[in-house]
Structure 1
Amino acid sequence: MTDSHSSGRPADSQDPYFFHSYAQLPGVAAGMRAPDERQEAFHQLLCRFVLQLTTHDGETPVGFLDKRMPLSGEWEKHLKEALATCRVFMPVYSPRYFSSHWCGVEFDGFLRRQTEHHRSERYTVSAIVPVLWTSPGRTVLPEVVQPFQYHSLDLGDDYRRVGLLGLMEAGKWGVYRRTVWRLAERIVDVATAAQLKSCEISLFDGLSNVFAPRTQADS
Structure 2
Amino acid sequence: MSTVDAPASTRAPLFFLSYSRPPFRRSTPGATDPVLRFFEDLSVHVSELVGPETGVDAGFMDSAMTGGERWTPELLRAAGTCQVFVPLLSSALIGSAWCGMEWDAFSRRRLVPQGGGGPGHATAIVPVTWSPTDDARLPRVVRDIQRFSPTPMPDPDIVRQYEREGVYGLLTMRMENAYQAVTWRLAQRIVEIHRSFRVEPLVPAGIGELRNLFVGEER
Structure 1 segment 85-164 matched on structure 2, within 5 A: 85-113=81-109, 116-117=110-111, 123=118, 125-137=122-134, 140-152=137-149, 153-154=151-152, 156-164=159-167
TM-score (norm 1): 0.79
Partners of 1:110 and 1:3 in 2: how far apart?
Answer: 17
Residue of structure 1 aligned with 2:73, choices 67, 77, 80: 77
Deviation at 1:201, TM superposition (A): 2.9
Secondary structure of 2:137's aligned partner: coil
- Tell me if the contact between 1:167 and 1:176 (Cα under 8 Å) persists in the aligned partners: yes
Deviation at 1:206, TM superposition (A): 1.9
Q: Which amino acid aligns with 2:16?
A: F
Range moving further from structure 2, 174-183 or 201-210: 201-210
Tell me the equivalent position of 1:17: 14
Secondary structure of 1:154's aligned partner: coil
State the number of aligned residues. 197
1:171 aligns with 2:174: yes
Partners of 1:27 and 1:177 in 2: how far apart?
Answer: 22
Percent sequence identity is: 31
Which protein has the bigger helix share? Answer: 1
Gaps of 5+ in 1: 29-35
How big is the alpha-carbon RMSD for the aligned residues of Structure 1 and Structure 2? 2.8
- Tell me if the contact between 1:94 and 1:133 (Cα under 8 Å) persists in the aligned partners: yes
Partners of 1:122 and 1:147 in 2: how far apart?
Answer: 22
| CA offset digits 1:68-88 (Å, max 9, x no partner) | 25823xx33221100111010
Partners of 2:106 and 2:7 in 1: how far apart?
Answer: 16
Partners of 1:96 and 1:14 in 2: how far apart?
Answer: 31
- Tell me if the contact between 1:20 and 1:64 (Cα under 8 Å) persists in the aligned partners: yes
| CA offset digits 1:158-178 (Å, max 9, x no partner) | 111111011111111011001
Deviation at 1:111, TM superposition (A): 1.2
**Distance verdict in 2 for CA 1:178–1:142, change over 3 Å:** same
Residue of structure 1 aligned with 2:42, choices 27, 40, 46: 46
TM-score (norm 2): 0.79
| CA offset digits 1:67-122 (Å, max 9, x no partner) | 125823xx332211001110100000001110011011111111112xx446xx88
Partners of 1:60 and 1:81 in 2: how far apart?
Answer: 14
Partners of 2:203 and 2:99 in 1: how far apart?
Answer: 20
1:187 aligns with 2:185: no
Partners of 1:43 and 1:16 in 2: how far apart?
Answer: 13
Range moving further from structure 2, 153-162 or 200-209: 200-209
**Distance verdict in 2 for CA 1:100–1:203, change over 3 Å:** closer
Partners of 1:69 and 1:97 in 2: how far apart?
Answer: 14
**Distance verdict in 2 for CA 1:58–1:21, change over 3 Å:** farther
Deviation at 1:212, TM superposition (A): 1.4
